Structure formats: C-alpha cells, structure tokens
Amino acid sequence: MENMKKIALNGLLISLALVLSYMESLFPTSLIIPIPGIKLGLANIVTMFALFYLGFVSALTVSVLRCLLASLMFGGFSSLLFSLSGAFLALIAMQVLKLGHGKLFSLLGISIGGAAAHNTGQIIMASLMMRNTAIFAYLPVLLLAGIVMGLLTAVVAQNLFCLVDKTHVVNRLG
C-alpha cells in the first residue's frame, strides 16, 4: 500500500512538473530578460520537492518523465536532449549539495547549484551538437541568470517545504 501511494504521488508530481513547464513556455521571459535560453525553472521546484521528500529515485523519475513528455508534447528531439542534459546534471548537483544540507548548504545554495548545473549541462549538450566549444563563452551569462532564477525557485520551494512540514502531507501519504 505504501508503495502505491508513492507511485501515485510521483504521478502527481510528474503532472505538476509538466504543467509548470507548459506554463513557463507561455511566459514571455525574453520580453523581461532579452537573453536567449533564460527560463524560470519552475519545474525544478517539483524536482527539489521529490528529492527532499521522496528521494533521488523519485526525483530522477519525475525529471526524466517530465523532460520526455514535455518534449513529445511541446518540443522535439533536440529539446529532449537539451532538457535531459540540464535536468540530469542539475539533479546530480542538487543530490551532492543536499548531502551538506543544513551544515554547508541551505536550500538556497542547493537550488542555485542546481540552476547552474542545469545551464552547464545545456551548454555541454549545445557544444556536442554544434561540435564547437565556442558556445562556452555564453556560459557566464547563463550562470548569472541561473543564480537569479535559482534564488527565485528556492524562495518558492522553501515556502512550499514549510507548508508541507506544517501539514505533514507527505507523512500522511507515505
């Protein structure tokens, strides 16, 4: 029964991450920040929730299935490659930083680290696809934007985590 609840919660999180990805695609970020490749990273809130409350495997499942479904519905094969490369590197970075949570890194640091790793993963993929390393010159711009977006994501995630901790929603579910 406990396993079924976790599977159901993973399904809900995948759906929520997919909806947030879609909503983010509707938001005209380029009008506010006229830099190509800048995104809010709203789905990362869901990934962080899965990582902290359900563990690495659930977070990986949510990330991979969100990337796959979003690419099938809204993008294509190249968007899948960019999405997976960023999401996977971000998740690995957040898992490593999570080991120092409360001692070395706050949720803010973990979120910013994840955003920076996401941008780095996408630049690596772009470099591989283009067969050119010149694209790495754009990485500092993306890292700066990643700090800002990681900060915003962390603020939302921190409020969500406080709400969940107060209501014990996860404890009741599994």
The domain defined by 2-173 folds into Arp2/3 complex 21 kDa subunit ARPC3 (1.10.1760)
Domains of the chain, residue spans: 2-173
6-60 pLDDT, tens digit per residue, is 899 999 999 999 999 888 878 777 777 777 777 788 899 999 999 999 999 999 9
DSSP category for residue 136: G
First CA to last CA across the chain, in angstroms? 9
pLDDT(123) > 90: yes
12-22 pLDDT, tens digit per residue, is 999 999 999 88
pTM to 2 decimal places: 0.86
User: So what's the pLDDT on residue 124?
Assistant: 95
